């Protein structure tokens, strides 16, 4: 309790300092706020709001329970989360942060996950959506569509790696899913999946019209919370920059990057991305003399996987009523960031994105509304691909485990 009080005192002091800086720089704060509103409207609203509504509908119709029953025998050995975690993983990768945290919260409210499972699940389902990764980052910020496969493999592959590592986080306790849906093993798994979906729909009981209305209302509330946090961190980043705090942080990061032979200008991307992912990714894609595209891409992957304190705040605000520890989420984001940056260097020569012709500046609009129309099919492909790849990953896991046991014997 004492440690928690100290943390609250530190947050209060930081908030008071930011408030004083806003008073000191009112015009710049206003402009930064408008920039944050633009990011929210152009990038986040079209990418997130439809999925907020869809997640509510899918839970109400029992679709989550259907996939949960099918995936439960595979998700538990792989990630030590119940079957619905496979659906959360697919939706999280397809729709972006903070949808994974939102769905984890909904599973908690339904009594289908415990604390350890919630922490594991939120840690590796917090990812960027393909609309933002392709439309905004690869095409809009870097003007190089060939970077999309590199960033996607690094970012989503890193998320799976974090999930496999997080299986060792926490103890082993029975979850609500096991108690409610794990008891019956009679009949085929498809029959049990349809029975689980029917039971969930009956238990929900809301008419379709009510379900849709409440889904839209809930989605609007969530997207406004997300927008408020984006605006706050945009303003905070601006006033901290004017006060010289960001410059000090960039000097330290620049020194750390020099150890790895990475150009100093990329320190701005890391510092900006520490606070807000969109600003960090945009800084990573800004050209400068002597720029190394591979290093820029690695920093962009790092920023996308770290996700920024803005996304951290969004995710934790959605799970504020749960006994989820921020330390586990923070650690997972940090590990994900480093793994993704490493994967970029590992696959770079194989995919050779630098050989592709760069798109001219302004060739494709950055606006999320245009990106949504152009790249929404990729979200559907990611969703279907994740669901279909879980059995493949489980098969690989089972074969590897069998080989290790055979070698030990």
In angstroms, the CA 133 to CA 129 distance is 6
Those residues with Cβ within 8 angstroms of residue 16's Cβ, 6 or more apart along the chain or in another chain: none
In angstroms, the CA 206 to CA 208 distance is 6
Give 159's pLDDT tier (boundaries 50, 70, 90). very high
Name the DSSP class of 125: S
Task: Express each pLDDT in 164-207 by its tens digit.
Answer: 999 888 766 656 666 666 555 567 888 888 888 888 888 888 88
Angle between helical axes of 99-109 and 84-95 (0-180°, round to 10): 150
pLDDT at 363: 47
Nearest-5° Cα angle at 79, 75 to 82: 45
Those residues with Cβ within 8 angstroms of residue 4's Cβ, 6 or more apart along the chain or in another chain: none
Name the DSSP class of 140: I
CB 237 within 8 A of CB 32: yes
Torsion of CA 58, 82, 330, 385, to 10 degrees: -60
Percentage of residues in the chain having pLDDT higher than 70: 88
- Alpha carbon 72 to its chain's center: 22
In angstroms, the CA 99 to CA 315 distance is 8
CB 107 within 8 A of CB 129: no
Task: Express each pLDDT in 314-362 by its tens digit.
Answer: 899 889 889 888 989 999 999 999 999 999 999 998 887 765 544 444 4
Residue 33 buriedness (CB in 10 A; 0-12 / 13-18 / 19+): middle
Nearest-5° Cα angle at 112, 110 to 113: 120
pLDDT at 123: 92
pLDDT at 225: 85
Angle between helical axes of 308-318 and 326-351 (0-180°, round to 10): 130
Give 219's pLDDT tier (boundaries 50, 70, 90). confident
pLDDT at 158: 95
Task: Express each pLDDT in 34-63 by its tens digit.
Answer: 988 888 887 778 777 888 888 888 888 988
Average pLDDT of the chain to the nearest whole number: 84
Task: Express each pLDDT in 273-323 by its tens digit.
Answer: 998 888 889 888 888 777 788 999 999 999 999 998 989 998 998 898 898
The half-sphere exposure of 288 on its side-chain side, counting CA atoms within 13 A, is: 16
Structure token digits, residue 4: 């928690």
Q: Is the dihedral angle over the CA atoms 86, 90, 93, 97 positive or is it negative?
A: negative
pLDDT at 2: 44
Q: Minimum mean pLDDT among 2-11, 36-45, 46-55, 116-125: which range?
A: 2-11
Q: Tokens 């947050």 correspond to what residue? A: 11
Whose CA is closest to 310, among 94, 128, 167, 83? 128
Distances (CA, A) of 362 to 144, 262, 300, 365: 12, 27, 20, 6
In angstroms, the CA 202 to CA 219 distance is 23
pLDDT at 3: 44
Phi-psi region of 11 (alpha: psi -120 to 50; beta: other; left: phi over 0): alpha
Find the mean pLDDT for residues 372-378. 67
Return the CA Rg of the chain. Answer: 22
Longest alpha-carbon distance in the chain: 71
The model's pTM? 0.87
CB 368 within 8 A of CB 44: yes
């Amino acid at each position: 309790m004492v440690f928690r009080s100290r943390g609250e005192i530190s947050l209060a002091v930081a908030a008071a300092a930011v408030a004083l800086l806003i008073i000191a720089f009112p015009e710049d704060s206003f402009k930064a706020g408008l920039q944050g509103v633009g990011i929210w409207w152009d990038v986040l609203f079209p990418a997130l709001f439809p999925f907020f509504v869809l997640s509510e509908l899918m839970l109400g119709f029992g679709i989550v329970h259907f996939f949960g029953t099918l995936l439960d025998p595979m998700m538990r050995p792989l990630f030590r989360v119940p079957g619905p975690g496979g659906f959360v993983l697919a939706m999280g990768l397809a729709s972006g942060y903070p949808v994974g945290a939102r769905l984890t919260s909904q599973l908690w409210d339904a009594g289908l996950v415990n604390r350890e499972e919630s922490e594991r699940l939120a840690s590796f389902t917090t990812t960027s959506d393909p609309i933002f990764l392709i439309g905004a980052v690869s095409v809009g910020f870097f003007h190089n569509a060939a970077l999309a496969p590199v960033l996607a493999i690094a970012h989503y592959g890193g998320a799976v790696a974090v999930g496999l590592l997080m299986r060792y986080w926490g103890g082993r306790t029975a979850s609500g899913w096991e108690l409610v849906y794990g008891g019956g093993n009679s009949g085929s798994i498809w029959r049990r999946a349809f029975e689980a979906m029917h039971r969930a729909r009956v238990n929900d009981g809301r008419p379709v019209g009510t379900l849709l209305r409440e889904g839209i209302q809930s989605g609007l509330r969530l997207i406004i919370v997300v927008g408020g946090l984006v605006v706050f961190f945009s303003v905070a980043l601006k006033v901290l920059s004017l006060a010289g705090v960001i410059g000090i942080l960039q000097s330290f990061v620049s020194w750390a990057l020099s150890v790895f032979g990475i150009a100093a200008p990329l320190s701005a991307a890391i510092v900006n991305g520490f606070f807000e992912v969109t600003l960090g990714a945009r800084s990573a894609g800004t050209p400068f003399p002597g720029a190394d595209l591979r290093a820029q891409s690695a920093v962009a992957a790092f920023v996308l996987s770290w996700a920024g304190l803005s996304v951290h705040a969004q995710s934790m605000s959605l799970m504020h009523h749960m006994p989820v520890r921020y330390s586990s989420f923070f650690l997972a984001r940090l590990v994900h960031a480093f793994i993704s940056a490493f994967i970029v260097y590992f696959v770079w020569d194989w995919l050779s994105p630098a050989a592709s012709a760069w798109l001219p500046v302004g060739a494709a609009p950055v606006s999320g509304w245009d990106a949504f129309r152009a790249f929404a099919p990729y979200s559907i492909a990611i969703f279907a691909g994740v669901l279909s790849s879980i059995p493949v990953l489980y098969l690989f896991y089972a074969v590897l485990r069998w080989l290790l046991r055979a070698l030990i014997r």
